[in-house]
Amino acid sequence: MGFYSDKRNHQTAWLGPLVGAVYALTILLTLELCVALYQFAEFTTFNFVAAVAGIASFIVFSDARRYTIDNRAITLHDFPAIVRLWSGIFFVVVLALYLTKSAAEFSRVVMMLWLLCTPFTLTLTSLLCRWLVLRMNTAKGQRRTAVFVGFSEDAQRLSESFQTSPIFGITPLGYFDNRQTSDRMGLELPRLGRLIDAIEWFENNKVDMVFVGLLQARSSDIAPVVDALHDSVASVYFVPDSTLFGLGHIQYAELASTPVLVAYETPFLGVTRFLKRFVDIVLSALILLLLSPLMLAIAAGVKLSSPGPVLFRQMRYGVGGQQIMVSKFRSMRQQPPSIDGEVVQATVDDPRVTWFGRLIRRTSLDELPQFFNVLQGSMSIVGPRPHAVEHNELYRKQVKGYMLRHMVKPGITGWAQINGLRGQTDTLEKMQRRIEFDLYYIRHWSLALDFRIILRTVLIVLKDRHAY
């Protein structure tokens, strides 16, 4: 479980498993409905399918980081998101049937009905969940009032969310701040006075929640206000100003019984590290087994198209900034090493690329040997793409947060690549965008996201025009 206890959702730790169970039950009930509609099948014959689907859907939908009581994402109401997650679950079911050689035992009609109907039943369940949460939060006597002490940019965003989304069930009354006006455009919220005025206000008024800005104001201004709140029944929350140090993502954790704010951290600790590695080993071994004849044919094509070795090997940065050797099928003619050691990226119509190399690069087949890197443990199937050492040394000085991508293993495919950031990074802006997507992946990692990236990679790789 790692060396610290994550307290971000300590009040809603039950929410992930509960929602996971609800969605898993919805999927199983949909399967039973499809079996009932197709009168030539019995549900008992689908016990294996139901077991695999139930476990897979519970794991995918019970990711507690996906849900919070006050977040619209609790319902996964976005239909495309539901389709993507369900597609990943169905893929796992089909893969299990293939590996157990039992696919022929199940009705294709039922499976197709199940595939098509489930996104709609999940959406109905999603809407129902959202309606229930909205009713609970907006019921008479359930709405809470809030006041902000120290109005940082994070506090302003929080206030705007409370005002625009009724599902929170929170009504902001105003804020205390030493500044007359906000530097940031947003919804109007009355200024109740300076920070020191908050003490008298709390003595004469009742409020349910108080949000205190941690870093925006001096501690000498905030301390008396916090002391005054000890003599109240208000719930008190501290809001760190993430913009002060340029931190875009802060989490709360407890380390050795001491509360800390986590700015940057690998998501792969304890169980998550084991799950990530387990999936990597199983999928990479299966892919290498299934594609071994194709890889032999590619090796022959490389050898026949130009003289030189079959594989191209290059040092890249791996997890922790350690150098690793990454292999690809050679797609270029052998070139003498440059005098200055500069690594030149491939470009459109690059004369160094052979005719066969152009073919395997466009279809990304040149990356297949990297599944051996995955088995060996230096890479993962999904993660930030590894860059040449020379490029790392160049961009780490120009792109803020560049080295943070090395908190995880590099991947064969990644979040940046399926969002159009594949191929040559010939401008600083392109590299900055790629790093933004890499860091998004690290901060929002889940097994469901990994499967989503894998599926989208398979769908787009054949029509991608950014590889050359």
d(CA 58, CA 89): 10
List, for residues 436-449, the tens digit of each pLDDT value.
Answer: 999 999 988 888 88
Mean pLDDT of 266-287: 89
pLDDT more than 90, % of the chain: 18
d(CA 137, CA 407): 39
DSSP structure class, residue 213: E
Cβ atoms of 351 and 382 closer than 8 Å: no
Q: pLDDT category, 29, cuts 50, 70, 90?
A: very high
CB-CB neighbours of 66 under 10 Å: 22
What residues have CB less than 8 Å from 224, skipping those under 6 apart? 196, 199
List, for residues 138-181, the tens digit of each pLDDT value.
Answer: 665 567 889 999 887 788 888 888 888 777 778 899 999 887 65
Query: Does 53 have pLDDT greater than 80?
Result: yes
d(CA 206, CA 120): 45
Cβ atoms of 447 and 59 closer than 8 Å: yes
d(CA 150, CA 171): 17
- Per-residue model confidence (pLDDT) at position 263: 75
Q: Which of 128-137, 400-409, 427-436 has the lowest mean pLDDT?
A: 128-137
Pick 262 or 226 by higher pLDDT: 226
- Per-residue model confidence (pLDDT) at position 382: 96
Query: Does 236 have pLDDT greater than 90?
Result: no
d(CA 282, CA 193): 61
- Per-residue model confidence (pLDDT) at position 223: 81
Q: pLDDT category, 326, cuts 50, 70, 90?
A: very high
Q: pLDDT category, 80, cuts 50, 70, 90?
A: confident
d(CA 133, CA 15): 12
Mean pLDDT of 195-201: 90
Domains of the chain: 4-138 (no CATH), 144-262 (3.40.50), 271-460 (no CATH)
Pick 108 or 276 by higher pLDDT: 276
Query: Does 47 have pLDDT greater than 80?
Result: yes
The C-alpha torsion from 445 through 446 and 452 to 455, rounded to 10°, is: 100
CB-CB neighbours of 75 under 10 Å: 23
pLDDT more than 70, % of the chain: 78
